[in-house]
Amino acid sequence: MGDRPARGATLEDVARVAGVSRATVSRVINGIRNVDVEIQEAVRRAIAATGYAPNRAARSLVTRRAGNIALVVSGSPGASDGFSASVLTDPFFGRVAAGAVDFLRPLGIHPLLMLADTDQAREDVVDHLRQGSADGALLVSTHAEDPLPELFVRAGVPAVLFARPATPSPISYVDLAHQDGAKLAAEHLLARGCRRLATITGPLDVPASQDRLAGFRDAMARHGHAYLPILEGDFKQESGETAMERLLTEHPRVDGVFVANDLMAQGALLVLRQHGRRVPEDVAVVGFDDSPPALACRPQLTTVRQPVEDMAAEMARLLLSHIEDAGRDPASVIFDPTLVVRASA
Amino acid sequence: MGDRPARGATLEDVARVAGVSRATVSRVINGIRNVDVEIQEAVRRAIAATGYAPNRAARSLVTRRAGNIALVVSGSPGASDGFSASVLTDPFFGRVAAGAVDFLRPLGIHPLLMLADTDQAREDVVDHLRQGSADGALLVSTHAEDPLPELFVRAGVPAVLFARPATPSPISYVDLAHQDGAKLAAEHLLARGCRRLATITGPLDVPASQDRLAGFRDAMARHGHAYLPILEGDFKQESGETAMERLLTEHPRVDGVFVANDLMAQGALLVLRQHGRRVPEDVAVVGFDDSPPALACRPQLTTVRQPVEDMAAEMARLLLSHIEDAGRDPASVIFDPTLVVRASA
DNA sequence: ATGAAAGCGCTAACAA
DNA sequence: TTGTTAGCGCTTTCAT
């Protein structure tokens, strides 16, 4: 019964116990064939006997691969209670993380969670990548004009974005056909008889918000509806409340609202009820995302589903291919939204 | 204008450019004094000129430190839509992550996100730690009898738990004085005049749920209330709805409810309104956590605040000290809850 | 105050 | 099929 903490057995130790060379042990560990079955067995036994666990750093040093990737969320320093809290607590981000994790886990790859809400933080992220802490990055930007994509291409760091960057960059991204989604919402609202429509948008400096608005407006116009009140929010619940409040005073006869995400729609629903408006009878509401809050509402939200988890998985797939082949050209993959009809419209 | 991707300058390169030895460059990089100021300058210039970025793997190999830690969430494979989605989308977990990230970031440490919902996954997590991918682990278990803490101590992996483990283990943890929190809730409910109280608990196999229940029951008993209907939930919103539904049929005259977390309380509120009960006039409701959903409810939740972010930061602090000093004895740090009075009670 | 040199543990040619 | 041998890029005694 030895009991020293045994500062880790090395390949050398295993080799000695198994009576073979380090190279051979390395081969069986890395699943390279051309190793006698008998010897494989011996090696395995030696590994078990020594409690050997390969040293990641040593391996990375020679393979030039960290074996994990970075999941970075970039934004501007949250006004009040911190960027970290608001973003990590946002169900949308949770879905992105879940999608990436589920795809990566079977591959033995884990995401390094990094937030970049200041220039300093962004620089740190780039440094970490350059130092090889991670082999590439999955990037979710929460604001337009994020300098990070550009920093990544400049540093030669493999990266994939969630959503098309505001300024063109030679970098891969995954996105949703936002306009199509908005169109789905418009047609559903129109079909159920709404005639006085309005929309609560996301921050208008981000492409996704612009696209959802454009898609909704175009679809309305195509159906002859020239006028569309527009209220701008910031994708958080409270802004949905504020916007709906204003909408109700400025356009009291509104009978249908397209809200650019579920969190704001949730806030809108709250205000609607407070004002005694029945949903969907008096005012129909369609959200966007199909995130958990859509189910937490009463009535439950009719919403445009964005397959976030699948999109995140695709990001990971793309990233891996860029890591594999550094010369690969940037690619974009666009997903289709679907309408999930529940009780609010 | 050279233009090859320049497969990374090394210490050697910097040394050559600066006209000094590798050792000296290493010293200035690691901020070791005893380096001539002139030379420091020269080295810095050389670093800038070469665009040098230290190689993490090489450094880790000699220092035996990965420079990052693991943030692992352990649980059982979610019944329906996956463990990853439900946990990463849970505001409670988001707060833990935010607290850890905020504490660790200034130190240049990032968390490696790992989920462990199967035996296989748990083994993988332990392997990664043993391989030195991370220097230690922050663990949040979502179910009782999680084998991971034990696996960690057995593997000699530094780790700190969120919440006392169901089975005693020589391992550090951070926790809340759940009983005190429940007592706060009980006294508030009693003080506002409620007389027919009930409670919706979390899964009763986890210590936190048991403690909240015990604390509430004891406080009630001390005030002469012998009978307390108990409904068990699972910390998710839907279970709060189900429980409240049952409570209303079995104990229609209930006038106050203590719900073991905000998510379930949110569900309870929904059901209450659906049944035409006014909150807090007919039924007062007190939640637990003070998570984002507490504000998303109408009326907003009166709830027992758990300083999750501070607790997570403390976990990180403890973990770092265990990494620093492997011999350090396990420690526990208990935080005090506070009552946040809003509209629901 | 600085440099020389010995590894850290592993993979990958290259031989045999 | 297996072993030998170079390193990967860095930190760290130990001299100087």
pLDDT in tens, A262-275: 999 999 999 999 99
Into how many domains does chain A fold?
3
Report yes or no: B328 at the A interface, CB cutoff 8 Å: no
CB atoms within 10 A of CB B101: 27
- Check whether A94 has a pLDDT greater than 70: yes
Instruction: Determine the average pLDDT of the residues in A207-219.
Output: 97
Q: Which of residues 49-68 of B touch strand C (CB under 7 A)?
A: 58, 61-62
Six-digit token string for A232:
């701008």
pLDDT in tens, B155-173: 999 999 999 999 999 999 9
Residue (of A278, A240, A245, A234) closest to A258 by Cα position: A240
- Cβ of B27 less than 7 A from strand D: yes
B212 shares a domain with B182: yes
User: 10 Å Cβ neighbour count for B149?
Assistant: 23
Q: Are residues A25 and A113 in the same domain?
A: no
* Residues from chain B contacting residue A68 (CB–CB below 8 Å): 112, 133
Residue A66, chain B, CB below 8 Å: the answer is yes
pLDDT band at residue A74, thresholds of 50, 70 and 90?
Answer: very high
Q: Is residue A277 assigned to a domain? A: yes
Residue A6 has pLDDT above 80, yes or no: no
> What pLDDT is attached to residue B2?
30
Q: Is residue A17 part of a domain?
A: yes
B249 shares a domain with B166: no
Tell me the whole-structure pTM to 2 decimals.
0.95
Query: Which of B244-275 are b and which e, b meaning 16 or more Cβ less than 10 Å from the residue's Cβ?
Result: bbebbeebeebbbbbbbbbbbbbbbbbbbeee
Tell if the CB–CB gap between A156 and B5 is shorter than 8 Å.
yes
Q: Please name which of A90, A107, A111, A60 lies closest in space to residue B72, comparing C-alpha atoms.
A: A111
Structural domain span for residue B242: 178-305
* CB neighbour list of residue A201: distance below 8 Å, 6 or more residues apart: A209, A212, A213, A230, A231, A232, A233, A260
Residues B292 and B318 in one domain: no
Same domain for B132 and B184:
no
Q: Which residues in chain B have Cβ-Cβ distances shorter than 8 Å to A58?
A: 57, 61
Question: What does the pLDDT read at residue B78?
Answer: 63
**Statement to judge: residues B154 and B83 lie in one domain:** yes
How far apart are the CA of A225 and the nearest CA of chain B, in angstroms? 33
User: Residue A318's domain is classified under what CATH number?
Assistant: 3.40.50.2300
Are A296 and B237 inside 8 Å of each other by CB? Answer: yes
Nearest CA in chain A to B127: A53
User: Tokens 């990436």 sit at which residue?
Assistant: A100
**Is the CB of A118 less than 7 A from some atom of nucleic acid strand D?**
no
Q: Which nucleotides of D are covered by protein (CB under 7 A)?
A: 1-5, 7-13
Measuring CA to CA, how many Å separate A1 from each of A4, A5, A6, B151, B197? Answer: 10, 12, 12, 19, 58
State residue A133's pLDDT score. 97
A88 touches chain B (CB under 8 A): yes
Asked if the structure places residue A1 within a domain, the reply is: no
Residue B135 distance to chain A (closest CA, Å)? 12
Instruction: Quickly give B119 CA vs C8 C1' distance in Å.
Output: 32
Position B135 in a domain: yes
Determine if strand D comes within 7 Å of the CB of A23.
yes
The answer to whether some atom of strand D lies closer than 7 Å to the beta carbon of B320 is: no
Residue B13 sits in a domain of what CATH number? Answer: 1.10.260.40
Partner-chain contact B88 A94, CB within 8 Å: yes
Whether B163 is in a domain gets the answer yes
Most distant CA atoms of chain B, gap in Å: 85
Q: B216 with B319, same domain?
A: no
Which tokens go with B290?
A: 């003070």
User: Do A159 and A211 belong to one domain?
Assistant: no
Do B131 and A98 make contact, defined as CB atoms within 8 angstroms? no
Q: If you ran DSSP here, which 8-state letter would residue A172 be given?
A: E
Q: How many C-beta atoms surround the C-beta of residue A246 within 10 A?
A: 14
Check whether residue B266 and residue B182 sit in a common domain.
yes
Per-residue pLDDT reduced to its tens digit, A308-332:
999 999 999 999 999 999 999 999 9
**For residue A344, is it within any domain?**
no
Sheet holding B111-116, edge to edge: A332-335, A172-176, A159-162, A137-141, A69-74, A111-116, B111-116, B69-74, B137-141, B159-162, B172-176, B332-335
Under a CB-based contact definition with an 8 Å cutoff, are residues A61 and B57 in contact? Answer: yes
3-state secondary structure of B245: helix
The answer on B156 and B190 residing in a single domain is: no
pLDDT at A40: 94
Residue A345 within a domain: no
**pLDDT tens, residue by residue, A24-51:** 999 999 988 789 999 999 999 999 999 9
Query: Cβ of B274 < 7 Å from strand D?
Result: no
Which nucleotide is at minimal CA–C1' distance from B40?
A: C1
Is any atom of nucleic acid chain C found less than 7 Å from the CB of residue A35?
A: no
CA-nearest of A184, A133, A82 to B59 is A133
* Low-confidence residues of chain B: pLDDT under 50: 1-6
B242, B251 in Cβ contact below 8 A? no
Q: Provide the pLDDT confidence category of residue A81 given band limits of 50, 70 and 90.
A: low
Q: Are residues A19 and A104 in the same domain?
A: no
**Which residue in A244, A166, A250 sits closest to A208, CA to CA?**
A166
Q: Which 51-70 residues of chain A approach strand D with CB closer than 7 Å? A: 58, 61-62
How many CB pairs lie under 8 A apart between chains A and B? 154
**Which of B29, B65, B133 should one mutate to test binding to chain A, selecting the residue with the greatest count of A CBs within 10 A?**
B133
Query: Which residues of A are less than 8 Å from B124 in CB distance?
Result: 105, 108
B60 inside domain: no
B293 contact residues in A (CB cutoff 8 A) = 296
Q: Is A55 within 8 Å of chain B by CB?
A: yes
Nearest to B164 by CA among B200, B139, B136, B137: B139
Chain B residues within 8 A of A98 when measuring between CB atoms: 82, 84-85, 88-89
Please tell me whether residues B10 and B94 are part of one structural domain.
Answer: no
Average pLDDT over residues A129-136: 98
Interface of B with A in 7-46 (CB under 8 A): 8
